[in-house]
A = this chain, B = another copy of it.
């Protein structure tokens, strides 16, 4: 039962982040119901009952959701999480604190971290387009 916005036919105010397609909604819902990250195949397993059968259906939905800033990929886990902000299309960079005990992920946007990354890049003549910052350790609950 995909819960993500069923109806909504009528024209809306702004650039309503373009409605999600059926597959995209299902994948997004699967990720939001879970606070922990899921691999593409884990998502697939949860959605087999809803008609999704092939990995590509998941990966295509994830690609679009990432474009829209609704989902992030955790490179160090080969997994995906729903964005914890409103939707980070804009965000310069976010960091993820990943608990190795309980799997909880905290999405962090921090100005000073981003500033230092910019500075160190500039000092080396490097022109960054995106950054991956992932911290492993113990969350406040588990430490």
Contact = CB atoms under 8 A, between A and B. Distances in A.
Interface of A: 75-76, 95, 97, 99-100, 106, 108, 110, 112-113, 116-117, 119-121, 124-140, 143
Copies of the protein in its oligomer: 2
Contacts of A128: 97, 135-137
A121 B97 contact: yes
B112 A119 contact: yes
Contact of A121 (B75, B76, B125, B137): B137
Contacts of A113: 113, 116-117, 120
A48 to B, nearest CB: 27
8 contacts: A75-B76, A75-B132, A97-B124, A106-B126, A127-B143, A131-B134, A132-B134, A133-B133
Contact of A140 (B124, B130, B139): B124
A139 B110 contact: no
Contact of A126 (B120, B121, B137): B137
A132 B99 CA distance: 14
A120 B137 contact: no
Residue of A95, A120, A134, A139 ringed by the most chain B CB atoms within 10 A: A120
B121 A112 contact: no
A99 B133 CA distance: 17
A135 B117 contact: yes
